[in-house]
């Protein structure tokens, strides 16, 4: 299907591989991208309260892509939901394209942060939740998508340790676990968060109904983490 034929269409989950296929070039980080595909779709299709016609609405949910390398799935979902034109996808990663190898919040409509070095997203999410609380803006939720390998970064553990006792119940984190972390965690990823006072659920990261149930689990007074297990990166 040509770009001309793609314009103006309504997309669903089955269209995402084709949209991702429009993005070519080097350094695509394919496994990193596809590991997040189902999580991103369920969030944008059924959970996040965001609208492409009002990406800066103060009442919107905030979605922070900390796992910013390999953003093809993210761009495909944003295109499917009308945040960015499908026409942009073939230029992915080129010199004059707004769709870089890491999302740029200044160039990509709907992107909340410009992700770069791993380990930044969750601390920024904590700060965002604190900032909304300080302003008395209680309705929006903050969502952060983190890769399991990012948990090798100490900055995340400082954020985890702070958010639980602070009772940041508008903060939600999704850990996409494709077994790429370098260091084991006694008891598993969820146990690390639970020890810091978080609500935690572990699910199959390809099961849309399980993801939706986990994303909408009540967690009054506590931040919430969903560990979404997918196939190992080397598989």
pLDDT at 179: 82
Alpha carbons 25 and 22: distance in angstroms, whole number: 10
- DSSP-derived secondary structure letter, 93: T
Residues 6+ apart with CB under 8 A from 156: 119, 122, 123, 146, 150
Q: Which of 172, 166, 163 is nearest to 200 (CA)?
A: 172
| Residue 160 pLDDT | 96
54-88 pLDDT, tens digit each? 988 999 999 999 988 879 999 999 999 999 999 99
Contacts of 218 (CB under 8 A, 6+ apart): none
Please answer whether residues 217 and 201 qualify as being in contact, where contact means their C-beta atoms are separated by less than 8 angstroms: yes
Please report, in angstroms and rounded to a whole number, the separation of the first and last CA atoms in the chain.
30
What is the pLDDT averaged over residues 94-107?
Answer: 92
Neighbouring C-beta atoms of residue 24, cutoff 10 Å: 12
Task: State the pLDDT at residue 235.
Answer: 46
Per-residue pLDDT tens for 162-206?
999 999 999 999 999 988 776 656 678 999 999 999 999 999 999
Residue 153 CB neighbour total at 10 angstroms: 18
Per-residue confidence band for 232, with pLDDT thresholds at 50, 70 and 90? confident
Tokens describing residue 16: 């995402």
Token output for 159: 């954020």
pTM of the predicted structure, to 2 decimals: 0.92
Q: What is the pLDDT of residues 144-156, one digit of tens each?
A: 999 998 888 889 9
Annotate 45-84 with DSSP letters as a single string.
III----TT-TT-TTS-EEEE---SSTHHHHHHHHHTTSS
**Interval 9-60: pLDDT, tens:** 789 999 999 999 998 866 556 767 789 999 999 999 999 999 999 988 999 9
């Amino acid at each position: 299907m040509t770009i001309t034929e793609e314009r103006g269409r309504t997309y669903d989950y089955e269209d995402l591989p084709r949209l991702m296929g429009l993005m070519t070039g080097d350094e695509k980080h394919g496994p990193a991208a596809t590991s997040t595909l189902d999580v991103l779709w369920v969030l944008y299709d059924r959970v996040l309260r965001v609208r492409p016609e009002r990406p800066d609405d103060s009442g919107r949910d905030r979605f922070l892509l900390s796992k910013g390398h390999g953003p093809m799935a993210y761009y495909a979902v944003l295109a499917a939901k009308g945040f960015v034109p499908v026409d942009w996808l073939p230029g992915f990663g080129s010199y004059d394209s707004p769709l870089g190898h890491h999302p740029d919040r200044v160039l990509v409509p709907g992107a909340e942060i410009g992700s770069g070095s791993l380990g930044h997203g969750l601390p920024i999410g904590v700060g965002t939740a604190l900032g909304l609380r300080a302003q008395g803006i209680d309705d929006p939720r903050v969502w952060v998508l983190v890769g399991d390998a990012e948990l090798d970064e100490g900055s995340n553990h400082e954020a985890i340790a702070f958010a639980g006792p602070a009772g940041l119940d508008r903060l939600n984190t999704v850990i996409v676990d494709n077994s790429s972390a370098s260091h084991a965690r006694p008891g598993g990823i969820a146990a690390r968060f639970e020890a810091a006072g978080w609500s935690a659920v572990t699910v199959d990261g390809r099961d849309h109904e399980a993801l939706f149930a986990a994303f909408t689990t009540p967690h009054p007074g506590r931040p919430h983490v969903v560990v979404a297990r997918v196939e190992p990166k080397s598989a």
